[in-house]
Amino acid sequence: MPATTRDRFTSRFHAAARFVAQRGLLKPVVWRMTSVTVLGRECLQKVEDAYVVVANHTSHLDTPLIMGALPRRLARYLAVGAAADYFFDVWRRRGLTALFFNAFPVDRTGTSARRVSAKALLNRGVPLLIFPEGTRSRDGSLGAFKPGAAALASSAEVPVLPVAVIGAYAAHPRGSSWPKPGRLPVGVVFGEPLTALPGESVDEFSQRIRSTIVSLAEENSDRILGTHATSRRDS
């Protein structure tokens, strides 16, 4: 990787600029437009160095919610995998994505040359946020997981932080240009870090991560959504 590309992910200057963008601009907007609950922060107390955050993906709110919910020490250098064919195709969108999310391009087509290696970032101590579904859900349901995130964490020997994002689809569904009014409830739930078990295949590890996220969502939806969850079941 060129030095300029390499420096962007670990530069203290860039980290300081992201702090202003994320905590001074983006987080206040998202927290003001939605009613945010964060659960499971105690699961993060022993997490250090590189790791892979793995979460469900239903909304453009997912990334700012996760980054805003993480403790500052874990979010400072977090790099977000973003679709190369969308977030990196226009210079203005590419610049904003880099500023706010320390993003690296993920090729969804399989035809582009890899400009940044996710494993190389992990090996240099840069934690990653990856959405294994590959794209936002069209209806809010959890899709199949591609095994890349599990394979990456296993090969780099770093933990996976499973995260369930709850309510983001209702607040800002795919196709909408802005979150719905009324400060709808959304939540971020962190689970215990996961590592690949001896003899566990990549596919098995990926499925275990997915099952953990499903459980986190099911166990905490009522607590986060409250009367909204009840009204949807009764409708």
The 10s digit of each residue's pLDDT in 147-189 is 999 999 999 999 999 999 999 999 999 989 899 999 999 999 9
Tell me how far apart the alpha carbons of residues 18 and 76 are, in angstroms, rounded to a whole number: 8
| Residues paired with 165 in a beta bridge | 188
Secondary element (H or E) of residue 73? helix 72-75
Angle at 126 between CA 140 and CA 96, to 5 degrees: 60
Using the structure block, give the residue that is written with the tokens 């977030």: 87
The 10s digit of each residue's pLDDT in 15-35 is: 898 888 889 999 999 999 999
The larger pLDDT score, comparing residue 101 to residue 83, is at 101
8 A C-beta contact, residue 181 and residue 31? no
Nearest to 52 by CA among 141, 143, 112, 125: 125
Q: Where are the domains of the chain?
A: 3-234
Q: Could you give the CA distance from residue 73 to residue 19 in angstroms, rounded to a whole number?
A: 11
pLDDT digits (tens, 9 = 90+) for 111-128: 454 567 889 999 999 999
CATH number for the 3-234 domain, one of 3.30.420.40, 3.40.50.620, 3.40.1130.10, 3.40.50.720? Answer: 3.40.1130.10
The count of C-alpha atoms lying within 13 angstroms of the C-alpha of 76, restricted to the half-sphere facing its C-beta, is: 13
DSSP bridge partners of 161 = 53
Mean pLDDT score, 2-19: 73
Greater confidence, 19 or 88?
Answer: 19
What does the pLDDT read at residue 107?
Answer: 63
pLDDT value of position 168:
98
pLDDT above 50: residue 196? yes
Mean pLDDT of the chain: 86
The CA-based dihedral angle spanning residues 59, 150, 47, 13, taken in that order and rounded to the nearest 10 degrees: -60
Residues with Cβ within 8 Å of 27's Cβ and at least 6 positions away in sequence, in order, are 64, 67, 68
pTM: 0.86
Residue 91's Cβ-count burial label (10 Å; 0-12, 13-18, 19+) is exposed
